[in-house]
Chain A
Amino acid sequence: MNKDQARGGAGGHASPSRDIVYADYQSAKPVDPRVVEAMLPFMTERFGNPSSLHGVGDEATAALDDARVRVARFVGAQPDEIVFTSGATEANNLALIGYCRRNRRKGDHVLISEAEHISILNIAKVLEKEGFRVTRVPLDLYGRVSPQKLRARIVDETILVSLGWASNEIGTVQPIEEIAAMLDGTGVALHTDAVAAAGLLPIDVGTVPIGLMTLSSNDIYGPRGLGALYVRKGVQVAPVLVGGGQERGLRSGSEDLAAIVGMAAAADIMVAEMPAEVARIKAIRDRLVERVLAEIPDSHLNGHPEQRLPNNAHFRFDGVEGEAMVLSLRDAGIAVATGSACSSKTLEPSHTLISCGLLHEEAHGSLEFTFGRFSREDDVERIMAALPPVIERLRALSPLYRAKA
């Protein structure tokens, strides 16, 4: 991370510095200072290992049990349905690889969607190498999976459907409730990566019949390096990481108690503050969308107009490339992301945008704004002071852009 991002990431009340407008909350979130405060004792005086039999260990066990209760409450789960992991990527590995290995005798077919996070896509490739068949369900114009198209691809051998609750990229929210109800009782388990949705949409596994669900600590303003997998009672998974048998044998390794306590504190804050926070963030986002579409010609909103994460604004601008926009906005003190290939390690444009029906040149012109807890109302004014001249300058360079008369 460069120093600009670090400063911006710790903006708001964590740091009075407002040099940078940070509008890339989907990439990284600052840890809430209240969370840091809750964690600190567990790095020094309350350092015990829950596996130890002495009093110091017992105190750690009590803190771990308490944290599990609080994280479970955040999503409507039972405490013993929460398995702490090193992050969302590990939770996704445990969900897909662990479930498929454990349930292979039931079948060898898995469904994912074309909107999935790269970790799911790459885990699916590993499953294919292990002999499983993976089918990708296509998306509609707005990035949604149609329950009918999904159902049409279920075969007798299908054992698992993995579908992200919402896209971390274009922000589109999937009809998870409908799909969960459709799969309930069919013997096909549903895993959802809820990392992008948690803290922005209400999640209650008590009412939505989901089998497995991935959570990330940092995405609710907790520390990085921690995540959790919700495993519904009765859903069987094989461990992917083996060792001392912690987390009911599903995830070995001494628990990172400070981080777990941090995630619990972050979850508590969400339970208390989420409705008001989401309303505030959504107002900022709505204002940006309204102004960009009204003030910048040939600009488009990617993803669903309504069924989208309340913090996400994902645009494309005809005739302009994404990395060039990000670089120019960086010069203007604004931190944002793009789905352009030129910013990725693979040099491929966003698979989600291509699957929504965009052409390569259009997918390259995308720009993603994501707001969060420390975003401010005047961020939109600062973005709108910088963005139109950037687009205008890059269009003047571009052989692809011809303004409508």
Chain B
Amino acid sequence: MKSTQYSEKTLDHFRNPRNVGILEGPNVAMGRVGNPVCGDLMEMYIEVEDDRIKDIRFQTFGCGSAVATSSMTTELVRGMTLDEALEVSRGDVADALDGLPPIKMHCSNLAADALHEAVKNWRAGIRPDDVGTEPVATSCAATGEAEPVEIAGLDDYEGKGVHRVVADPAALADQRVVVLDTGDAAAQTAIALTDHTARVVLMTTAKDPEVSAATRSALRLSDVKVLTEAQPLSLHGEGELERIRVHDLNEDEEYELTADAFVVLR
């Protein structure tokens, strides 16, 4: 079945999603699930009163079924007790949408999981602002200490893609440059490089780059792509740097990022 052969009900929930947004307040919890390979990310917010889901909202980055299953889940569980909500399965959501194409059943049907996460977070006393910080809490960047990171191959590729200083940003023209977040100087270097190449990534192990407020807003306005919760592990390439192996701290998965230059300021 083609991925676009959705039921009318699925298409309706995609075109007119219900309960989009976020919730705030003391009685709110949030569950976030995602699959980096599939490219779906869902956030489900619940407001709890008397052990029931009084209100519910979602935000989703994903394909048609990712949006539709999120929307349907919010419709299904509003007013349920938390125990009842934990019983709602991916299959229930798919059934309520008159079925999903088989290929979508696994990857794009994570809304029930996001809901269960939200309930678990509520019961554990984890509030929306804390979600996602647990895996990084142990890394050095999250504690604000600029400890050197062990990156395999850093010395081997020095002068062959690894730069410990960027004296001449123009020398990196048209290269894919990854700058390791080591503070304000690194972020400023990244911003300066965007005048010379279309691809500059600022990689940080933290949830946000460890920079001053002024640098943070400059970053936001710049063309620098900020890659958060990413730990570089090792460098690879035939004679010169071509790929950086990265540990996604949020998803606890590893992947390779193509790069020509890796800037780790001394």
Spell out A's residues near B (CB within 8 Å). Answer: 138-142, 149, 152-153, 319-324, 326-328, 330-331, 340-343, 345, 347-349, 354-357, 359-364, 396-401, 404-405
What is the minimal beta-carbon distance from A115 to any residue of chain B, in angstroms? 12
Which listed residue (A138, A139, A343, A398) contacts B59, Cβ 8 A? A398
**Number of A-B contacts defined by CB within 8 Å:** 122
Contact check, A324 vs B15: say whether CB atoms are below 8 A apart.
Answer: no
A/B interface sample: 17 pairs, CB < 8 A = A138-B242, A319-B61, A321-B39, A327-B14, A340-B39, A341-B37, A342-B3, A349-B39, A354-B258, A356-B258, A361-B41, A363-B39, A397-B20, A397-B59, A397-B67, A399-B42, A400-B41
Q: Assess A324 versus B198: contact at CB under 8 Å? Given A354-B258, A360-B255, A404-B220.
A: no
Is the CB of B62 closer than 8 A to any CB of chain A? yes
Contact check, B259 vs A357: say whether CB atoms are below 8 A apart.
Answer: yes
What is the minimal beta-carbon distance from B107 to any residue of chain A, in angstroms? 6
Q: Assess A323 versus B3: contact at CB under 8 Å? Given A342-B107, A356-B258, A359-B225.
A: yes
What is the minimal beta-carbon distance from B131 to any residue of chain A, in angstroms? 11
Q: Tell me the dominant secondary structure on chain B's binding face.
A: mixed
Q: Assess A399 versus B59: contact at CB under 8 Å? Given A341-B39, A357-B259, A359-B227.
A: yes
Is the CB of B4 closer than 8 A to any CB of chain A? yes
Contact check, A324 vs B258: say whether CB atoms are below 8 A apart.
Answer: no
Contact check, A357 vs B61: say whether CB atoms are below 8 A apart.
Answer: no
Is the CB of B174 closer than 8 A to any CB of chain A? yes
Q: Assess A324 versus B63: contact at CB under 8 Å? Given A140-B174, A357-B257, A359-B225.
A: yes
* Contact residues in A for B37 (Cβ distance below 8 Å): 341, 347-349, 360
Contact check, B59 vs A347: say whether CB atoms are below 8 A apart.
Answer: no
**A398 to B66 alpha-carbon distance, docked (Å):** 11
What is the minimal beta-carbon distance from A326 to any residue of chain B, in angstroms? 7
Q: Which residue of A lies closest to B14 (CB)?
A: A327
Contact check, A342 vs B36: say whether CB atoms are below 8 A apart.
Answer: no
What is the minimal beta-carbon distance from B89 to any residue of chain A, in angstroms? 21
Contact check, A345 vs B103: say whether CB atoms are below 8 A apart.
Answer: yes
* Contact residues in B for A357 (Cβ distance below 8 Å): 176, 199, 257-259
* Contact residues in B for A397 (Cβ distance below 8 Å): 17, 20, 59-61, 67
Q: Digit string of B1-13 for contact with A (CB within 8 Å is 1, else 0)?
A: 0011010000100
* Contact residues in A for B143 (Cβ distance below 8 Å): none
Contact check, B62 vs A324: say whether CB atoms are below 8 A apart.
Answer: yes
Contact check, A141 vs B103: say whether CB atoms are below 8 A apart.
Answer: no
Which listed residue (B4, B11, B242) contacts A326, Cβ 8 A? B4
Q: Digit string of B94-127 for contact with A (CB within 8 Å is 1, else 0)?
A: 0000000001100110000000000000000000
Q: Which residue of A lies closest to B3 (CB)?
A: A343
* Contact residues in B for A149 (Cβ distance below 8 Å): 238
Contact check, B258 vs A138: say whether CB atoms are below 8 A apart.
Answer: yes
Q: Which residue of A lies closest to B243 (CB)?
A: A138
**A138 to B236 alpha-carbon distance, docked (Å):** 12
Contact check, A330 vs B4: say whether CB atoms are below 8 A apart.
Answer: yes
Q: Which residue of A lies closest to B59 (CB)?
A: A399
* Contact residues in B for A355 (Cβ distance below 8 Å): 258
Q: Which residue of B lies closest to A364 (CB)?
A: B39
Q: Which residue of A lies closest to B175 (CB)?
A: A141
* Contact residues in B for A328 (Cβ distance below 8 Å): 15
Contact check, A324 vs B14: say whether CB atoms are below 8 A apart.
Answer: yes
**A397 to B59 alpha-carbon distance, docked (Å):** 5
**A397 to B176 alpha-carbon distance, docked (Å):** 30
